[in-house]
Amino acid sequence: MRLEDKVALISGGASGIGRAEAVLFAREGAAVVVADLQEEQGIAVVDEITEAGGRAGFVRLDVRDASRWTAAVEFTEARFGLLTILCNNAGTNHRAGWDEQTPEMWQNVMDVNLTGTYLGIRAAVPSMRQAGGGSIINIASSAALKQGGGGPAYPTSKTAILGLSRNAALAHAKDNIRVNALCPGHVDTPFIRGSQPHSENDWSTDIANPDNYERRMARQPLAIGRLQSGEDIAYAALYLASDESSTVTGATIAIDGGTTLL
Ligand SMILES: NC(=O)c1ccc[n+]([C@@H]2O[C@H](COP(=O)([O-])OP(=O)(O)OC[C@H]3O[C@@H](n4cnc5c(N)ncnc54)[C@H](O)[C@@H]3O)[C@@H](O)[C@H]2O)c1
């Protein structure tokens, strides 16, 4: 019960890394609010948690919308009390290189990945301040540490998350609010397997294509025999969410099977 008495709000909690965090955090004693655009999938995660004896609720959230963030924090406080953990997972990508990426695609990636993270921090801080502290975990990417991720928007947005995290970490340190960033490598989630409205893939980018799976495996030197899982990232988030990391703030942690060593 490493998160006993904690209250977590998890954007992008309906799928992939966010879903793994929600399930793991609830198992470790936290009350969890799954916040996502995908309602049906989000409710399914909540059902899974409550059926296992955990505490969870779902709120519909578009991370681009400041008023929806306010509503999500209010929902969390009303159901479970003051917020002490925020995970900013919601993300999007257009797999289009410089020649194909439009200004609209660029703006959408910035709005979801970067502005969405900023708005989440902004909405969570007053509740955490009242609680006497908190932990904010921003999901960046190995694309923030080395070049990757296709066209210009995605790696730029993820690199900016590192700067935003350090800025927020210093600004809110006086309130005992910690802000850290995780950089996952190649994680086997719907983001890169199949095709989603927020992360479109065709056969040339989908890891269901064995050639693509092997191409990504070749970029992950650690011999684990598989790409990373959502749980691999969630365990790092668990450490940052728990009091075990009570003096860790402003850190960037690569959780990437060695991807950024290449
Ligand atoms: N999968 C990878 O290989 C990988 C690698 C590095 C970083 N990441 C990052 O990890 C994060 C989580 O991705 P994942 O792999 O779990 O993908 P995923 O597709 O499984 O989950 C992403 C979730 O974000 C939600 N979302 C998207 N736009 C939203 C919006 N505007 N408002 C609210 N929710 C929204 C989606 O509905 C989805 O549930 C993303 O920020 C992604 O960039 C993923």
Residue 151 CB–ligand 1 contact under 6 Å? no
Atom of ligand 1 nearest to the CA of 64: 31
Distance 11 CA to ligand 1 centre (A): 9
- Residue 4 φ then ψ, to 5°: -55, 140
Residue 189 CB–ligand 1 contact under 6 Å? yes
Q: CA angle, corner 190, sides to 185 and 192, nearest 5?
A: 50
Catalytic, 239? Answer no
Q: Tokens for 1, please give them.
A: 């019960």
Distance 222 CA to ligand 1 centre (A): 23
Its sign, for the CA torsion 198, 204, 210, 212, is negative
CA atoms of 6 and 9, how far apart (whole Å): 10
Distance 223 CA to ligand 1 centre (A): 25
Contact 89, 140 (CB under 8 A): no
CA atoms of 102 and 157, how far apart (whole Å): 15
pLDDT per residue of the chain (262 residues) written in tens, 0 to 9:
999 999 999 999 999 999 999 999 999 999 999 999 999 999 999 999 999 999 999 999 999 999 999 999 999 999 999 999 999 999 999 999 999 999 999 999 999 999 999 999 999 999 999 999 999 999 999 999 998 768 999 999 999 999 999 999 999 999 999 999 999 999 999 999 999 999 999 999 999 999 999 999 999 999 999 999 999 999 999 999 999 999 999 999 999 999 999 9
Other residues' Cβ atoms within 10 Å of the Cβ of residue 204: 9
**Domains with residue ranges and CATH for the chain:** 7-199+229-255 (3.40.50.720)
**What residues does 136 pair with on adjacent strands?**
86, 179
**Tokens 């899982």 label which residue?**
229
